[in-house]
Structure 1
Amino acid sequence: MENEKNTAQEILQEELAAIYIGNLNTVDEDLILPEQGKKGCRFTWESGEERFIEPNGKVHRPLHGMGSRKVILTVTGEYQGCTAQRRFEANVLQQEKTMDITGVRPVKIRLACGCPVCLPSVAIVTCADGRRTTRPAEWSELVKNGAYSRAEGRVEGTELPVEAEIFWEDSVSGETSAPEKKLEYIAMNGVRLAEGTPYAEAQERMVKFLLAQDDDQMLYNFRTAAGLSTQGAEPMTGWDADECKLKGHTTGHYLSGLALAYAATGDERILEKINYMVSELRICQKAFEGKEGYRPGFLSAYSEEQFDLLEQYTKYPEIWAPYYTLDKIMSGLYDCLTLASCHLAGEILFPMADWVYDRLSRLDQSVLNKMWSMYIAGEYGGMYGIMIKIYALTKKPEHLKAARLFLNEKLFYPMEENCDTLEDMHANQHIPQIIGAMDDFIVNGREQDWKISSNFWNIVTSGHTYCIGGVGETEMFHRAGTTCDYLTDKAAESCASYNMIRLTGQIFPYTVDGAMMDYYENTLSNHILASASQTEDGGTTYFMPLGPGGKRFYDTDENTCCHGTGMESRIRYQGNIYAADEKYLYVNLWIASQLFSGEKVSIRTEEEGCLKLTARENMAKAPAIRIPGWAEGKVTVLVNGEETKDFTIQNGYLYFARPLKRKETLEVRTVPELRVLATPDEKFVNLAYGSHILAALSDQQEWITLPALDAFRQTGSSHFEANGIRYVPLPEADLQACHVYFHKK
């Protein structure tokens, strides 16, 4: 009898653990709360605040100005006389701001005679509260008058007029403000991280995690959807659970993580996993082709029904971002093809791209616009970018056309006009779209894509970032310059930082601006590195808590978006360390490593603020080393231990006058200082030393006032103590409660 009761209790706990009710970080629709488990357990629900979430899942969003509200949902499970409970915390988003429009920005377009006119589908408007946003625009007939044309319209749902001026010219100047590419990165497989550094240790932990994963479990949902045997594997959990609509996304990240890990290490065990995963996914794809109602090329961890429902404007949580998941799968296959030379991945990927074109090309633009504007359900991740990259390989016009069916004018038009309309937009939903625009520029050279990408980067990094480089609170952009109003436990989503450094890496070769790499390194070392679990469990923070006494939580089994990107970001540390042009080898990041491709050099960073480059063979190109912005150009340079002035500094890079000979060393020394960093609101400050943002180890729930700098005593290479509180680099805080922002003294 006791054994039976224990079994019933175990089943109940399993049933409770398997409950998944969606992404509770941004609740804006009714929740589906299950009343029964798969094995017969009965569930009853209670809400901590029924005015916001009723026990049946009905959601009532707070009025704007009340703020988003956290609601505790408690489910009680009953099974064969046993009872147990589980708690969920839901963040119910406040209602959108009232749209009180006070101004409409006119449209101005210059075109060569004969070019078709394409007026923007949105207008940029200014609201009474000072924010800028977009609203759909309805245009009347275009009136052409020689070299000048005019169109009038109105802002949809209002009587507010919007005007467009079109200036026709015999020929539009061929000159472009878009720059040419100035350098190329050294491929990841030509670089290795030096052992013993925090970066190498984090990478090693993730590689071990990837090697330990059950490939058959990663294939579970694909095989189930295709009607194949699951080979006895355990089901996936969290966002990939049977009842979840996003299943399959983690497997896509897993493929990318494996491909990156193989490029980073050359470990043949990883290649074996890649080949197995890809060959089994090909079997799944073939199985779908034999099923009625499936178009050729389809592959996913669920049926095509989600895509059908999206075209019917079905909302989340009945569906959940089918093209977002498709992007992860396609990107994983692309990485296996390009980083691990797994050609079978291309045989799966290219028909998938054909499927995308076949599916979307038959839809009117108005349908696409409505689909992509649907929050969560219409999120499509990096589909624009992956289709562009596939087009670069296949040169099929259909793949380029399919890529541009994912254009989001609501985002792209204001970015091209250099207008910040990001307030209240989902951060990580839109950063990958900009990455896609930059992919389009890299492949096709369109000036408008350069403007969109570079303007977005400048807007985000100048007004929307926390001190660690992260963006977004509860996943959302807020008004520029207000990050200190959002120092909560849901700040700085890891996915968003992962994608911001990817975007930075794309833009940098066209600017060779040291300030861009300052942002890259700050985000990499103070957010991405800090977001990683310091065990081999593959854990990643969803958000970085930046309020007083915040503690990190590492997702290990929920299979969130950030858990997925975490499998990749630990192995991107070495991706952009080195680059080269015709004359110089660039060292962009102060990360100890060895270069095996082209120039044979090693760099060491054993002391904070000191980089030592050693030539293992005669160099053909001279070194160019980034001088960190915090060093303010104050450097000492030594060749073979002797100080030299044989260099110039430009745009944040130290250009040495000649290539090094075998065994010669070039040492760049700076003097790190403890620094107080101002914040936009002038109410808070941050503390930094060299490249590190320092965290105060304290579980105090009130803000700490930062002591004067002369009160600090250095206790280690980057460790300090003041008034009995220890200050350490943020990644080292790990699970300890800490403070990153401080009140000014």
Structure 2
Amino acid sequence: MVQVDRRRWLAGVSSLALAGTIPAGALRAATGGYLTALVEPVPLDKVRLAPSIFADAQAANRSYLASLDPERLLHNFYLSAGLEPPAPVYGGWEAMGIAGHSLGHWLSAVSLLVANTGDVELAANLDHALAQMAQIQSAHGDGYIGGTTVERDGEIVDGKIVFEEVRRGDIRSGGFDLNGGWVPLYTWHKIHAGLIDAYRLARRQSAMPILLGMSTYLAEVLEPLDDEQMQRVLHAEHGGLNESYADTFALTGNRRWLRLARRIYHRAVLDPLVAQEDRLEGLHANTQIPKVIGLARLHEVAPDARYAGAAQFFHKRVTQHHSYVIGGNSEREHFGPPDQRAHRIGEATCEACNTYNMLKLTRHLYSWQPDARWFDFYEQAQINHIMAHQRPDNGRFVYFMPLAAGARRIYSDPEDSFWCCVGSGMESHAKHADSIWWHDAAACTLFVNLFIPSSLDWPERELGWRMASAMPDEGSVRLSVSRPSLRATTLAMRIPAWSAAPQIAVNGVPVETEMADGYSRITRPWDVGDTVDLTLPMTLGVERVPDDPSILAFTRGPLILAADLGPADEDFVGTGPVLVAGQGNPAAALRSASKSGVFTTEGGLGETLFLKPFFRQYDRRSAVYFPTFTSAEWAARRGEYIRSQEAAQALSRRTVDTLYLGEMQPERDHDFVPGRSEVVNWNGRAARRLPPGDEMRMTLARRPGDAVLQVTVFSADAARPFGITVDGAPLELAWPEPSPGDGFVTLSFSLPPVGEQGRAEAVIGVRALREHALLYEVRMMEPEG
């Protein structure tokens, strides 16, 4: 057994970035002057998945995609064009101002599966959706197509009004809105990207006029804006608009789209990355990743070393300094301080959209510099996060992947969720075939990057291979030739950094192979029946939390192991598991159980812990990270640890509802009315800053009887009073003493009871008085006792 620090082996990726960008001249195509990748994925129609967990995930996703009615996804689009919707709107986010984003993801996901499998039913659904979109766009007459809505004077109206206001120079944004509309440019990007995929992947010619109409309409809104106005627009979340315009340029050769793609450059975020500075703390994570993907794509269509360097730097910082052991990042959707995760292991870690986008970015960077270490990260995140993110039996998705001890996964409803992570989930599980096999320009080298059972048949290049694999459970892979290649070609197999002593045999005979850039390379003519066996021993190891090495997670090869703490539908009432270990390797205390891949160890309270692959614990409560103590430490701190765990559980039981201010989804969930408050990121957390005399309102759940309202502020602001109303009535109380602490502190306000029957919720108003009020969190509690 060995100690494995994934940050150490991922650090190899940083050396690629530090080495500088490959000179653009070496990557230009022979004609056209545009960047050409050194390697590309084998075309999707040449690859088929074989039976495996990945094929199961694709099948479940395919069933979900087929169940969705494009006319229901287009409901608001019909209304916007003055047409009668033929089907009712879906629920969840599709019944809100962000309506339409799911359609974009659906277009991309269906296009991926049509390209990969030729699915006739999905192709027909795609064609119908595109025909309806063309009809809707024609009814508008100006290229516009959208389903977003916005509130005006207490009424919900068509979101097109926001774009027309921006066209006139009327631009307002609090970060997650544009002129009060819920991220309309983010939704626009999803639809634009979906049309590009329908054209490029599914080869639907009918998509091109629609996407060009969209491109033209938005260009006519944005192009007249001066730089200051454009930056105000880009303050609102806008997805990867720069990427979609760069793609549109690549498809058409029209430099108008390239010029606009370059102007969609959010200076506040991208300038520091170009300067190789990590200023990610406090930023909404998934707002930023697509901007960086756009920089990478811009570099590919019009080489710019600044953009390439920024994309590489961002990837290095996020994967090595802002990510958890499963490969995901963020807590409650936001980046924290670099290398500070000991106190950020909670119920809302690892938003799935972030990992979906980080894998997209990884593919771009790998294509420029085909080093196996990029796919070491890809494999880590795909297996441990993306495969955990979807239930393989019904295709439902998880928004956050909670890593707190005793946490459980919360799955989407098929027709009443449509979160962003449902949309990206549709794509994630439609693309399991797109990164297994890669090739160089002449197809002289075939790269095997992911050990997913599959077949490749590419007669035009004399390539035919089948891959059988026991991964991710066991490190055995067999590659067999299904089509002869008379010319010598190179088979390059990724040797993962987690495998200490790989073994290779050709036609049953062990061989020594050339190693380069993390690949074992075999060059020879190949005949039908030739086999290559790759054995990758899967050792046990640990990864420690950087700011508190006493907290660790267990790994086995590419897998993250987690303690099984019981069924998800039962409350978790115990303390989080701890380990009492000596100075050696804690993985040495793990013992293999009777079931393959299950290990046992003794917890600090004398219990037996069963450790299993984390991703498979779909309906279980689990623990990924374990505090560890020496025997002496545990003897001295056992009581303190148990008391702190019990206090945390008591706080959780008393908590009725919590609003994290300055964070998009929590504010949406609580009918937040911001007044003139602004989102700020101070002291490492998002907050709302309310100017004197102004009020913001929110709706929180409550229970019958007395209640306590807890407001989190920073200690320096604790003596600055603000006014509170409950259901419109002022709360007349003496200013409370803050909880002890030099950082964040809580102010507790007792609320009066609301009658025997009680009320299900309370409308809370906060008014700044003589000074600004800066609030981070508002929590509705039951009284103690």
TM-score band by shorter chain is 0.7 to 0.9
1:551 matched residue in structure 2 = 408
1:600 matched residue in structure 2 = 464
1:498 and 1:711 map into 2 onto residues whose CA distance is 32
Deviation of 1:580 (Å): 1.1
Instruction: Tell whether 2:553 aligns with 1:697.
Output: no
Instruction: Tell whether 2:538 aligns with 1:672.
Output: yes
- Whether the aligned pair in 2 keeps the contact of 1:354 and 1:398 (CA below 8 Å) is no
1:604 and 1:372 map into 2 onto residues whose CA distance is 47
State the secondary structure of the residue aligned to 1:576. Answer: coil
State the secondary structure of the residue aligned to 1:466. Answer: coil
**Structure 2 unaligned runs (5+)?**
1-20, 28-36, 149-157, 566-571, 581-585, 603-607, 630-785
Question: Relative to structure 1, is the Cα distance of residues 664 and 706 closer, same or farther in structure 2, using a 3 angstrom cutoff?
Answer: farther
Instruction: Tell whether 2:251 aligns with 1:393.
Output: yes
- Whether the aligned pair in 2 keeps the contact of 1:715 and 1:721 (CA below 8 Å) is no
Deviates more, 1:710-719 or 1:261-270: 710-719
Alpha-carbon displacement from aligned partner over 1:327-382 (angstroms, at most 9, x marks no partner): 01111111111111111111100121111211101111101112222xxxx11001
User: In the TM superposition, what are the counterparts of 1:523-542 in structure 2 within 5 Å?
Assistant: 523-536=381-394, 538-542=395-399
Counterpart of 1:223 (choices 78, 103, 109) is 78
Deviation of 1:314 (Å): 4.8
2:197 matched residue in structure 1 = 335
Deviation of 1:662 (Å): 1.3
- Whether the aligned pair in 2 keeps the contact of 1:354 and 1:399 (CA below 8 Å) is no
- Whether the aligned pair in 1 keeps the contact of 2:447 and 2:492 (CA below 8 Å) is yes
1:339 and 1:261 map into 2 onto residues whose CA distance is 9
Question: Relative to structure 1, is the Cα distance of residues 670 and 175 closer, same or farther in structure 2, using a 3 angstrom cutoff?
Answer: closer
Q: Give the partner amino acid of 1:305.
A: I
1:91 matched residue in structure 2 = none
Question: Relative to structure 1, is the Cα distance of residues 179 and 588 closer, same or farther in structure 2, using a 3 angstrom cutoff?
Answer: farther
Question: Relative to structure 1, is the Cα distance of residues 210 and 711 closer, same or farther in structure 2, using a 3 angstrom cutoff?
Answer: closer
State the secondary structure of the residue aligned to 1:616. Answer: strand
Instruction: Tell whether 2:713 aligns with 1:713.
Output: no
1:284 matched residue in structure 2 = 136
- Alignment length, in residue pairs? 556
Alpha-carbon displacement from aligned partner over 1:120-171 (angstroms, at most 9, x marks no partner): xxxxxxxxxxxxxxxxxxxxxxxxxxxxxxxxxxxxxxxxxxxxxxxxxxxx
Higher relative contact order (CA 8 A, sep 6+): 2
- Whether the aligned pair in 1 keeps the contact of 2:370 and 2:517 (CA below 8 Å) is yes
Instruction: Tell whether 2:47 aligns with 1:191.
Output: yes
Deviation of 1:485 (Å): 2.1
Instruction: Tell whether 2:240 aligns with 1:382.
Output: yes
2:521 and 2:341 map into 1 onto residues whose CA distance is 36
State the secondary structure of the residue aligned to 1:685. Answer: strand
Counterpart of 1:727 (choices 594, 611, 616) is 611
Deviation of 1:701 (Å): 4.8
Instruction: Tell whether 2:490 aligns with 1:622.
Output: yes
Counterpart of 1:648 (choices 496, 508, 514) is 514
Question: Relative to structure 1, is the Cα distance of residues 686 and 308 closer, same or farther in structure 2, using a 3 angstrom cutoff?
Answer: same
Q: Give the partner amino acid of 1:740.
A: V
2:336 and 2:293 map into 1 onto residues whose CA distance is 20
- Whether the aligned pair in 2 keeps the contact of 1:300 and 1:326 (CA below 8 Å) is no
Counterpart of 1:409 (choices 262, 267, 270) is 267
Q: Give the partner amino acid of 1:705.
A: V
Deviation of 1:593 (Å): 0.8
Alpha-carbon displacement from aligned partner over 1:290-344 (angstroms, at most 9, x marks no partner): xxxxx44444454411224554315456311111010011111111111111111
Deviation of 1:215 (Å): 2.2
Question: Relative to structure 1, is the Cα distance of residues 511 and 569 closer, same or farther in structure 2, using a 3 angstrom cutoff?
Answer: same
Instruction: Tell whether 2:187 aligns with 1:325.
Output: yes
1:669 and 1:445 map into 2 onto residues whose CA distance is 40
Deviation of 1:177 (Å): 7.8
Deviation of 1:679 (Å): 2.2
Q: Give the partner amino acid of 2:494.
A: R
Instruction: Tell whether 2:89 aligns with 1:235.
Output: yes
- Whether the aligned pair in 2 keeps the contact of 1:285 and 1:298 (CA below 8 Å) is yes
Alpha-carbon displacement from aligned partner over 1:74-99 (angstroms, at most 9, x marks no partner): xxxxxxxxxxxxxxxxxxxxxxxxxx
Q: Give the partner amino acid of 2:307.
A: D
Deviation of 1:476 (Å): 0.6
User: In the TM superposition, what are the counterparts of 1:413-424 in structure 2 within 5 Å?
Assistant: 413-424=271-282
- Whether the aligned pair in 2 keeps the contact of 1:178 and 1:447 (CA below 8 Å) is no
Deviation of 1:498 (Å): 0.2
2:437 matched residue in structure 1 = 578
State the secondary structure of the residue aligned to 2:498. Answer: helix
2:293 and 2:562 map into 1 onto residues whose CA distance is 31
State the secondary structure of the residue aligned to 1:278. Answer: helix
2:628 matched residue in structure 1 = 744
State the secondary structure of the residue aligned to 1:246. Answer: coil
Counterpart of 2:105 (choices 219, 243, 253) is 253
1:170 matched residue in structure 2 = none
Alpha-carbon displacement from aligned partner over 1:227-279 (angstroms, at most 9, x marks no partner): 11211x222211110xx211111111111111112122211111000100000
Counterpart of 2:555 (choices 688, 713, 716) is 688
Identity of aligned residues (%): 28
1:345 matched residue in structure 2 = 207
- Whether the aligned pair in 2 keeps the contact of 1:713 and 1:722 (CA below 8 Å) is no
Deviation of 1:534 (Å): 2.9
User: In the TM superposition, what are the counterparts of 1:375-524 in structure 2 within 5 Å?
Assistant: 378-524=236-382
Alpha-carbon displacement from aligned partner over 1:496-520 (angstroms, at most 9, x marks no partner): 0000000001110211111110000
Alpha-carbon displacement from aligned partner over 1:403-445 (angstroms, at most 9, x marks no partner): 1221012222211221111111111000000000000011111
2:277 and 2:65 map into 1 onto residues whose CA distance is 42
- Whether the aligned pair in 1 keeps the contact of 2:240 and 2:294 (CA below 8 Å) is yes
User: In the TM superposition, what are the counterparts of 1:18-29 in structure 2 within 5 Å?
Assistant: none
1:403 and 1:266 map into 2 onto residues whose CA distance is 32
- Whether the aligned pair in 1 keeps the contact of 2:492 and 2:519 (CA below 8 Å) is yes
**Structure 1 unaligned runs (5+)?**
1-173, 290-294
2:173 and 2:290 map into 1 onto residues whose CA distance is 23
Counterpart of 1:206 (choices 52, 61, 84) is 61
Instruction: Tell whether 2:123 aligns with 1:271.
Output: yes
1:660 and 1:705 map into 2 onto residues whose CA distance is 53
- Whether the aligned pair in 2 keeps the contact of 1:179 and 1:510 (CA below 8 Å) is no
- Whether the aligned pair in 1 keeps the contact of 2:289 and 2:354 (CA below 8 Å) is yes
1:65 matched residue in structure 2 = none
Deviation of 1:715 (Å): 2.8
Deviation of 1:700 (Å): 5.8
- Whether the aligned pair in 2 keeps the contact of 1:524 and 1:573 (CA below 8 Å) is no
Q: Give the partner amino acid of 2:298.
A: D
2:143 and 2:372 map into 1 onto residues whose CA distance is 47
State the secondary structure of the residue aligned to 2:347. Answer: coil
Deviation of 1:483 (Å): 2.3
- Whether the aligned pair in 1 keeps the contact of 2:503 and 2:510 (CA below 8 Å) is yes
State the secondary structure of the residue aligned to 1:555. Answer: coil
Q: Give the partner amino acid of 2:577.
A: I
1:446 and 1:673 map into 2 onto residues whose CA distance is 41
Question: Could you state the TM-score of these two structures normalised by the residue count of structure 1?
Answer: 0.72
1:611 matched residue in structure 2 = 477
1:562 matched residue in structure 2 = 421
- Whether the aligned pair in 1 keeps the contact of 2:435 and 2:449 (CA below 8 Å) is yes
- Whether the aligned pair in 2 keeps the contact of 1:623 and 1:656 (CA below 8 Å) is yes
2:579 and 2:617 map into 1 onto residues whose CA distance is 18
Alpha-carbon displacement from aligned partner over 1:551-581 (angstroms, at most 9, x marks no partner): 0001222211101111100012111111112
Instruction: Tell whether 2:229 aligns with 1:372.
Output: no
Q: Give the partner amino acid of 2:43.
A: A
Q: Give the partner amino acid of 1:560.
A: W
2:595 and 2:535 map into 1 onto residues whose CA distance is 19
Counterpart of 2:216 (choices 333, 354, 365) is 354
Counterpart of 1:589 (choices 445, 450, 454) is 450
